[in-house]
Amino acid sequence: SEKEANANNYSARGFDAVDRMEALLEPSCPATVSSSCADIVTIASERSSGGLKWTVPSGKRDSTTACRAAANAFIPAPFDTLRERFTNVSLSNNTDLVSLPQKILLLSVQNERPASITDLDPTTPDTCDTFFESFVESMIRTGNLSPLTGTEGEIRLNCSVVNANLAAGLDSLLVSSI
């Protein structure tokens, strides 16, 4: 699954928060699109983006499979070139290439700025100018990459397990591909 994919192994955090959100939503909206794990991840991404707000399209459904090999093939590792990976999923826009990694970097070092860093923009070093707008546009585009909708996929009863495995009692063997 993506949780244990090489690029995420011991680095992706927040899956427990997604599981808690799903557990809180499920009793109010049992097995409905409004509580799909895919929607929860998308909304959580918007809420945790550091103050940026955008309309998050909902109605996505969850995958009925989880495959670590597929995740390893498509999740970029730290040493992969982003341009190649973005092009592989139709995100060849240079704005996407700059905005998404830059926001990730900003969030990771916002309180740990070393004194040795030199501003690349001497005119407005503390202003991202059009960055935030570009970041939102890139997030919306990535959220629209091959979403499962309608009768495709499923609404998982537990974000960490595909429903067929949950029903078969195999919930300890397979975790989600979210």
pLDDT digit string (tens) for 125-149? 666 567 777 788 888 888 888 888 8
Output the known binding site for substrate. 76
Q: Taking all residues of the chain, what is their mean pLDDT, rounded to a whole number?
A: 72
Residue whose C-alpha is closest to residue 32's, from 146, 156, 143, 148: 156
pLDDT bracket for residue 177 (50, 70, 90) = very low
8 Å CB contact between 140 and 160: no
* pLDDT beyond 50 at 178: no
Mean pLDDT across 44-57: 82
Query: Does residue 124 carry a pLDDT above 60?
Result: yes
Considering the domain delimited by 2-167, tell me its CATH architecture. Answer: Orthogonal Bundle (1.10)
| Residues tagged in the binding site annotation for Ca(2+) | 2
Which residues belong to the annotated binding site?
2, 76
Structure tokens at 76: 């970029």
